[in-house]
Amino acid sequence: MIRESRCTLRKTLKEADITRHKGAPEGRESGDGNDSVPGKPTRYGYQKRHQQQTPEQRYPSCLTDAEWERVADIFERDGDRGTPPRYSRRLVVDASCYVVRSGCSWRMLPKEFPPWQNVYRTFRRWSEQGKFEQMHDRLRAQWREREGRDTMPSATILDARSTRHSPQGGTSGYDAGKKVKGRKRHVLVDTLGLVLAVSVTAASVQDRGGAHPVMANGMEKYSGISTVFVDTGYAGRCAQTINQQHGIAVEVVRHPANANVGRWCTPDQGDLFTRQPEAKGFTVLPKRWVVERAHAWIEKVRRLVMHHDRRAEVSEARGWLAVGRQLLNRLTHTA
């Protein structure tokens, strides 16, 4: 057998005028993904439009004029009482988005932004006032209306994910199941993957232990919830307690190959699975994949991949800001 190096093959093909053309993968569009072609699925992910930057943006994480118009009234001071703000509220929001998106520390803010002490104090005050959560709730309702859904969700999905914790101190624990030392983010989302409630605890807290606070927060804001889908970690007494306290149906989505018995489930549990599990490979679980995708959306920003804050409430505020910033990009995009 004759073996040739890649350089020799490349030189031979070049002399024969044979070139390589990189086309779009089968089933995808070639281009930036903004144009939809009938019969082909829409292309998602990082596209050319994500590289574009408007003139009013100092950095890609900054808000555009159209995005700021949707949330300006939430952050601007009401009335003319008190001392006027020294720095623009929009500039402070841009600085907060820069820290969350880039993952840098407060002290490393660029000089184009206000001093980091002012930005941090304002961020903490807005977090205590729940302004980032208010921003996301407004944008979530607008997105559901655009998708033709009712603003009040009726079906939700609950799940938790453990992430690492930096040596800054604060609440932390060890998740023996995932072998992760840090904190756990409990998230309640709707069927579109939009966050309804979030709670950050130590990683040592079991899923069934952290489910009740996040469910209470979700039911306080959205009383129309009638169904929640969970995994087997919430089955048993936890599911019964949620059903008794909030009066909602708990659907335990099990893996098709799960043969465990003796756990609490609803009579129509078998309707969730329409096919047999594959012998090898990953099996997509109905309803469960939505919350897994939501976790991936949250961890797209670098500051939320690892917990760098001492306070858990600051981590929750960063989560609201991150998902709200993503919704702003969706709503103002003209694709």
Residues 182-213: tens digit of each pLDDT: 999 999 999 999 999 999 999 999 999 999 99
Residue 319 CA to residue 127 CA, distance in Å, equals 11
pTM of the entire predicted model: 0.77
- What domains are defined for the chain? 52-129 (no CATH), 152-307 (3.30.420)
Could you tell me which residue, 150 or 168, shows the higher pLDDT?
150
Count the alpha carbons within 13 Å of 178 in the hemisphere toward its beta carbon.
19
Rounded mean pLDDT of 262-270? Answer: 49
Backbone region of residue 220 per phi and psi (left: phi > 0; alpha: psi in -120 to 50; beta: other values): alpha
Residues 278-300: tens digit of each pLDDT: 556 667 788 888 999 999 999 98
Q: Which helix (H) or strand (E) segment is 213 a member of?
A: helix 207-221
- The pair of structure tokens assigned to 298 is 């949250």
